[in-house]
Amino acid sequence: MSESPHYDVAVIGYGPTGVTAANLLGALGVSVVIIERKASVYSRARAISTDEEVMRVWQQAGLAERLKQDMLPDRPIDFVDAAGRSFISAVPTPREQGHPPQMFIYQPAMEDVLREGVQRYPNVEVLLEHECLRVRQDDQGVELLVAQLGRDRLTRVRASYVIAADGGSSPTRGQLGVGFEGRTYEDRWLVIDTKLLNEWPGYDRLRFHCDPDRPAVDCPTPLGHHRWEFPVLPGEDGQELVTEAAIWRLLGRQGITGENVSILRAVIYSHHVRFADRWRIGRIFLAGDAAHVMPPWIGQGMAAGVRDAANLCWKLAAVLSGALPDSVLDSYQAERAPHVRNMTRRAVLVGRIITERRPWITALRDPAFRGLGRLGRLNRALQAASWIPACRYRDGFFRTIEGTAAPGRKVPQPWVLDESNARVRLDDVLGAGWSLLHLGSSPDETWQAAADTVLQVLPAGAAPRPGAVVDTDGTLTDWMREMRAVALVLRPDRIVYTAATATSPLTSPPPFLNRQTTSREKAA
Does 11 map to a domain? yes
How does the average pLDDT of the chain come out, rounded?
89
Last residue of a domain, one of 350, 378, 394: 350
Tell me: do 137 and 51 sit in the same domain.
yes
Number of domains in the chain: 2
Does 509 map to a domain? yes
Does 57 map to a domain? yes
Read off the pLDDT band of 364 (50, 70, 90): confident
Tell me: do 340 and 449 sit in the same domain.
no
Tell me: do 157 and 54 sit in the same domain.
yes
The pLDDT value given to residue 368: 83
The pLDDT value given to residue 240: 92
Tell me: do 325 and 420 sit in the same domain.
no
The pLDDT value given to residue 521: 42
Does 128 map to a domain? yes
277-281, 366-370, 509-513: which has the highest mean pLDDT? 277-281
Reference 455, options 482, 477, 479, 483; nearest CA is 477
Last residue of a domain, one of 316, 331, 350: 350
Alpha-carbon gap, residue 298 to 351, rounded angstroms: 9
Tell me: do 423 and 519 sit in the same domain.
yes
Read off the pLDDT band of 246 (50, 70, 90): very high
Tell me: do 328 and 435 sit in the same domain.
no
CATH number, domain at 117? Answer: 3.50.50.60
Percent over 70 (pLDDT), the chain: 94
Tell me: do 443 and 321 sit in the same domain.
no
Q: Global pTM?
A: 0.92
Q: Which domain holds residue 426?
A: 415-523
Does 303 map to a domain? yes
Alpha-carbon gap, residue 201 to 51, rounded angstroms: 25
* Residue 340 · residue 292 · CB < 8 Å: yes
Read off the pLDDT band of 2 (50, 70, 90): low
Tell me: do 148 and 17 sit in the same domain.
yes
Tell me: do 467 and 341 sit in the same domain.
no
Alpha-carbon gap, residue 224 to 118, rounded angstroms: 26
Among 18-32, 79-93, 242-256, 270-284, name the one with the lowest average pLDDT: 79-93
Tell me: do 36 and 166 sit in the same domain.
yes
Alpha-carbon gap, residue 321 to 314, rounded angstroms: 11
Read off the pLDDT band of 372 (50, 70, 90): confident
pLDDT in tens, 324-363: 999 999 999 999 999 999 988 888 888 888 888 888 888 8
Judged on CB neighbours under 10 Å (0-12, 13-18, 19+), 327 is exposed
Does 130 map to a domain? yes
Name which residue leads in pLDDT, 270 or 199.
199
Last residue of a domain, one of 322, 350, 378: 350
Residues contacting residue 265 through CB under 8 Å, at least 6 positions apart: 44, 192, 193
CATH number, domain at 444? Answer: 3.40.30
Tell me: do 447 and 325 sit in the same domain.
no
Residues in the chain: 524
Tell me: do 287 and 139 sit in the same domain.
yes
Check pLDDT > 60 for residue 57: yes
Judged on CB neighbours under 10 Å (0-12, 13-18, 19+), 214 is middle
Does 282 map to a domain? yes
Does 162 map to a domain? yes
